[in-house]
Amino acid sequence: METAALVAPVTALQFIQEAFLLSGEGPVLTVYSLQPRPKACASLSVLQHCRIHGIRPRIPSAFRPQSSATETLEKEKDGLSSTSESNFCDLAVFGGKAVRLVRLHDGEHLHLEIMGPLMQLQDWALDVRWLSGDKHSLLCVAVAHNSALLLDVNTGNVLVQRSCLEGCLLYSALLLVHESWVDTVLVGGTVFNQLVVWKPGGGGESSDSDHKAPVERRLLGHSGVIFNICYLQEKGWLASASDDRSVRVWGVGALGGPGGECGDLNPTCLRVLYGHQARVFSVRLSPGKVFSAGEDGACLVWDWARGGTVVRTLKGHRAGGVRALAISEGTGNEATRERWVATGGADGGVRLWRVDESEETKEKMEDAVTEKLTDLKFTGQGMPKVVCKAGEDTNTSWSQCKFVVCTDQGIVYQYSDGQWEAVWQGTPEFQSYCVMETITISRKDSTAKANLCAVGNLSGSIQLFPISHPQSGILLTAGTGKIHSLIWQEGGKSVYLLASGAEGLVYRWCVEVKLNENCSLSLSVNSLPSFLLPPCAKRWLTASLCLRSTSEEALWVCGDRRGSLLLFQEGGKSEQTRGDEDEDDEEAEENGSSGDGTSEMTEKKEVRDFTLQPLSCLFGVHGKQGVTSVYEYQGLLYSTGRDGCVRVFRLRPTPPGKVEESRKNNNGRTSKNSGGFQLEVLRVQRACKGMEWLERVLILKPEIPEEEEEKEEVALEESFRGEDGKLENKGRESRFVILGFHAVHFVVWDPVKQERLLAVPCGGGHRSWSLWPSHKGVWPGYGALVFIKQGAVLASQSPGQGPSWAGRAGGWGLREGVHGRGIGCVCRLGRIRGTGDEIQTRMTENTSVGKDKFKDEVRGVEREAQQWEIVVTGGEDTSLTVLAVHPNSGSVKVLSVITDHISSVRTVTVVESESQSQSLSALLVSAGGRAQMQCYRLVIGCDSQTPAPSCQVIQVASHRLDEQWERRRNRHKTVKMDPETRYMSIAVVREKTDCVLLALACSDGAVRLFSVSEVKRQIDLLWETFYHQRCVLSVATCSLEDGKGNRYKLLFSAATDGKIAVWDLTAASSLSTGTPPIPCLDIPAHQSGVNSLAVWAKKLGQEEGGCLVTVASGGDDGQLTVSTIRVQYPEDGNAGGSSGLSQISLQTQPQSQLHLHLRSQAQVPLAHSAPLTALELLSPQLLVSTSSDHRVCMWRVCSTEISHRGALYSHVADAAGLAVWEGQAVEEEEEEGGGDEKGTTWFESEQEIAIWGGRGSQKGLGRMGKTVEGKTGGRFNKDEKTADKGGEPVEAASETVDPICKMSDEKGDETVSECGNETEADSGGEAERSCKTSCERKKKREKTGWLLVCGQGFQLLQVRNTEMD
């Protein structure tokens, strides 16, 4: 078994100058290049079974990073080679009880190389440091039982070991070293919440190791264990992060250095910093700042000058917390130094920020909450009622932004450069009530832009004027009643004004701005047909969006105050022709024009009397409080409402039979518009709890490098609308943030990360507000809010001062996280073929070989490199994540995150899957806590524009037991279901065209059968049975078919009592009626709960009749049990079937019952040393099991026994989910010259601990990356291979193990393949060559198996064909 991909918590981070960032994820060491832009470069598995907890570089004086293009050019001019042998950096990597030396080569191709064997220690390593004056590569190691070691990395020998007199357990340690062992000082964080300082080398190197060193200093104050310690030498500060949610900074003076100073005799606590909401895991110090990160997922930046005030809050990880923190040395002088800050999360993500040492001591715009407000000191006449931005250009900064305010006196004021000035004063009709909206449009005759303002009143009048030339305004009329709302809308190259008047009429005008002869602005207004809203109580428009269809007839998607979504279409060709005929008579009267400016008001009387009816209506889809916005992006539509939901929907052609039906639904009236589209809701996204008043959505800006931002902005604007404004139906849902009101705060909410990006205490909803910036409809990571509160105009930040925003709000995402908490279930959907661009990019970044060789490798794996495995994971963070995993490169892409569950997701299954080469459609059902079940249709596809697949989620149905109980009649007579009921497992009973039957195991002791109908979009409970009387943990099904074509269905359920019940669900009565069946067999299998079941059937010969059903089960007792059941069909002679069997056998669903009895049972008592959590069938009679003991085991099940086929140490903690599948045949082309060239994979040579032919052969766990252990210069070295394993028994390179053949290619990777019946005796060179040749021939038809283990992260394993045989 080989590891193909790994996502685990990031537990170590380390900067090398300002050029590189090193991260430890499980045993994998990854290097990221920071120049010219952050990106991953190389990965290498270093510590085998241990997790990396620290990386300590030893940077030689000659080391100069060559990632900069400028330096490379300078070296080329000087005639120096860029692959200088001296340009490397040695790294001491440690974790668990292991330490290893790795070398980072920064030449033409950045790569990592293992320099020595894995050094195993007798205790847990907490810190490692290089001796600075050492010429023989000595390391000081602090271990968990308050001891220190002096380690020779060349030989792996411990030269000196010294213990402290206080031999307690340490949670953390910090070594302060100088030139020799005598100068070393150790600071340990004890289990008793204390910091102890002592000198391991106090008695000299020749001192007796049995002599224990005394404690020199003791720091008291924490009320919890200490997780991390940091020391700043230039200030004499020592910082400690603790379990008590605090960070303490101590003034200890000089520690370490020449002579091993122990600091002040009486160290004092300078600061106690409380700000984290959970445990603090890491702390770092700089001269002016304190950086801390913890379990709450936040990295806080504290300012030292003002008593420890939080000046920045860096958030970017999902739930689970920040496990690693690092800061760089920085560039510039001490006052203006800029640093990199890197955080590694429990979600497997790595994020990068840029922090300025001279930042002002106040919270930044990207902080979670902004508490300070600025009063704009409105000085105008009257009370402000409405506030709007006075237009917004692409390059308008916050300090240049202008605002207009309309008061209850009908006066419009503009705020600019800190001053208020009156722009327009209306007639008495505009007093006491007004609505106002603004927009920025381009002038018709030039590239200049103008800001327009529209003000409506109670009598149906609308004043339209340019803010810069209010005298050029005109007066529009929209009926005689109240103007409920005004909406500006851009459609293609035109700008429209919509006014919602009385009786549900929406008046529309097309507005243009041009320059007249007097060099003043002139408005040209063209009236359009009105919209007629459906009759309802609150009949006015609240949101509108203009789309362009392929027929060049504009489509309008509107939302009203009743919560309905409406679809309108512009008039047909006949109306446009009639309009052309009347074009000469369109110039009409001028209303309200004065001064030097002139304006035109054109009306078509015939068109004016014509109203458009909605083609499609989703009545009350957003509840009764109204729709607040409608937005379009990349072919999909997004609507928000005051029901706390964002709905993602699309336009689709109306089926021919439903066109007339949709017209009749519009109050029996028909429209002259030809109906061809209707609205279809794909899914609903809820905001956080309590956030019901949503205002709009903003697309989350993609993470791109700085040099590509300008190109991306242009592409982003083009993607909002297709060419000529036509709608492009790409149908790819994008990440977005939600704007709305949560209690008294205006909040920008990220539904995927479940965190606030901005919060302004404005007082709640029911107020006028405006957000900057929002001109492109994207959230750039920062923003400022202007709003009206108690008669004052307030802003979240002073407009006279630009937002001091250094870098991105969420940082740069070097690696995307998956689940912050444990993954409880996983399901594979299928495989699709990508474009291959992403793979080549990834391999270019990760390869460590020459360019010519890389081109050959890409050609060799081009077909295989384009395959993406699509999986869905469900976790304790209540989310479902759709992932695309590329096995060849190890890259993982998050396609979609679904957050509809209100509790943890315990089980997920795919009902049906339709796969093509570049598309995949699957029906997915998930279930979990609070007795909640969700059903989705997932559509995944690839195109040439995006390197990774894209996913569209369509919500089909949802179901909760407590909601069903609420809808029951006479529910007071029944017992309400337990609200804590959890769905533990799910199994597909039957797939039909109209509905799907699902069996669910429930924690309240019930087995429930549900029907899911995708057509009706509903889930119904058919029956439930409480036969087990205790928590049911797992269910599984098995389909049988006799010789006459009759089909049978068996259901297996297992509970916490260790028994397995077998149900016969063949009879139609047990599926359609509400009467549950009775189990036909009980199998005692375990002493405690049964966590997982795997079932398969095997037909018997005609002489015996019937079939054998094998049930494999794994339980909390760590036992693997295999039970064999003999099944006799009703038509068998000894079955005792009833009469009329011939007629029954002709039916597809026979009514006679099956006869079952337990034939045999076999157990493996200690299959795992912990509860067996997951069990799956990889191939016939080949089982795969996993447990929280970090092992993945393979078992061969025979008729009477279970044989262990192999095991692999898994890097996933708390393994709970397992998915297995068989891969396609490997089709690798043979290279000329006999070389076995293959693509550089992320995990290139991971060996396995396997058992072959009943014989154990422990080979250890190899590594992943670009350089193989014990091999240098791309050639195989037998002597180094033995030494590299640190004394472990390893077979020679020429030896072969039955039936294994090892092959070494030019790069030194090892592949395991089948090769006849070679034995250990056939180990000569000739046997090896013949074995290699036969293996290469069989590679073309070799099949592989894939295992995906999930828990605290996930690991994808590849199983070779030889392991499956």
pLDDT tens digits, one per residue of 1079-1116: 999 999 999 999 999 999 988 877 677 899 999 999 99
Percent with pLDDT over 90 in the chain: 40
pLDDT of residue 1074: 67
Q: Is the pLDDT of residue 602 over 90?
A: no
Q: pLDDT tens-digit profile of 149-205?
A: 998 888 888 989 999 988 889 999 999 988 888 889 999 999 999 999 999 887 544
Q: Is the pLDDT of residue 672 over 60?
A: no
Q: pLDDT tens-digit profile of 1245-1281?
A: 333 323 233 333 333 333 333 333 333 333 333 333 3
- Across-strand partners of 231? 238
Q: Is the pLDDT of residue 1224 over 50?
A: yes
- Across-strand partners of 226? 242
- pLDDT tier, 386 (very low <50, low <70, confident <90, very high otherwise): very high
- Average of per-residue pLDDT across 818-846: 69
- Average of per-residue pLDDT across 553-569: 91
Q: Is the pLDDT of residue 575 over 70?
A: no
pLDDT of residue 106: 83
Q: Is the pLDDT of residue 1139 over 60?
A: no
Q: Is the pLDDT of residue 1362 over 60?
A: yes
Q: Which helix (H) or strand (E) holds 538?
A: none
Q: Is the pLDDT of residue 1129 over 90?
A: no
Angle, in degrees to the nearest 10, between helices 837-846 and 851-860 = 140
pLDDT of residue 740: 94
Q: Is the pLDDT of residue 335 over 50?
A: yes
Is 281 exposed, middle or buried (CB count within 10 Å of its CB: 0-12, 13-18, 19+)?
buried
Q: Is the pLDDT of residue 1317 over 60?
A: no
pLDDT of residue 656: 61
Q: How far is Cα 663 from Cα 659, in angstroms, rounded to an integer?
A: 6
- Count Cα neighbours of 620 within 13 Å in the Cβ-side half-sphere: 6
Q: What is the DSSP string of 1038-1106?
A: EEEE-TTS-EEEEEEEEETTSEEEEEE--STHHHHSS-----SEEEE--SS-EEEEEEEEEEPPTTT-S
pLDDT of residue 417: 83
- Average of per-residue pLDDT across 958-966: 79
Q: Which residue did the predictor score with more confidence, 213 or 552?
A: 213
pLDDT of residue 975: 57
- pLDDT tier, 333 (very low <50, low <70, confident <90, very high otherwise): low
Q: pLDDT tens-digit profile of 276-296?
A: 999 999 999 998 899 999 999
Q: Is the pLDDT of residue 852 over 60?
A: no
pLDDT of residue 86: 60
Q: How far is Cα 366 from Cα 780, in angstroms, rounded to an integer?
A: 10
DSSP, collapsed to helix, strand or coil, labels residue 667 as: coil
Q: Which residue did the predictor score with more confidence, 703 or 978?
A: 978
pLDDT of residue 945: 64
Q: How far is Cα 1354 from Cα 146, in angstroms, rounded to an integer?
A: 34
Q: How far is Cα 1185 from Cα 859, in angstroms, rounded to an integer?
A: 36
Q: pLDDT tens-digit profile of 339-351?
A: 899 999 998 999 9
Where is average pLDDT lowest: 39-43, 806-810, 841-845, 895-899?
Answer: 841-845
pLDDT of residue 390: 84
pLDDT of residue 1228: 42
Q: Is the pLDDT of residue 995 over 60?
A: yes
pLDDT of residue 595: 41
Reference 145, options 176, 118, 122; nearest CA is 122
Q: In what order do the strands lie in the sheet with 1032-1041?
A: 1032-1041, 1047-1055, 1059-1064, 1081-1084
CB 1266 within 8 A of CB 112: yes
Q: What is the DSSP letter of 712?
A: H
Average pLDDT, the chain: 77
pLDDT of residue 1327: 41
Both tokens of 569, joined, read 């279409």
Q: What pTM value is reported for the model?
A: 0.80
Q: How far is Cα 119 from Cα 154, in angstroms, rounded to an integer?
A: 10
Q: How far is Cα 631 from Cα 637, in angstroms, rounded to an integer?
A: 6
- Count Cα neighbours of 515 within 13 Å in the Cβ-side half-sphere: 11
pLDDT of residue 703: 55
Q: pLDDT tens-digit profile of 754-801?
A: 778 888 999 988 899 999 886 678 888 788 899 999 899 999 887 765
**Helix/strand/coil (H/E/C) assignment for every residue in 471-496:** HHCEEEECCCCCCCEEEEEEECCEEE
Q: pLDDT tens-digit profile of 793-825?
A: 999 887 765 554 433 455 778 888 888 888 999
Output the CA torsion 1258→1261→1266→1268 (10° steps).
-30
pLDDT of residue 71: 47
Q: Is the pLDDT of residue 127 over 90?
A: yes
- pLDDT tier, 1365 (very low <50, low <70, confident <90, very high otherwise): low
CB 245 within 8 A of CB 278: yes
Where is average pLDDT lowest: 2-16, 25-39, 132-146, 581-595?
Answer: 581-595
pLDDT of residue 812: 79
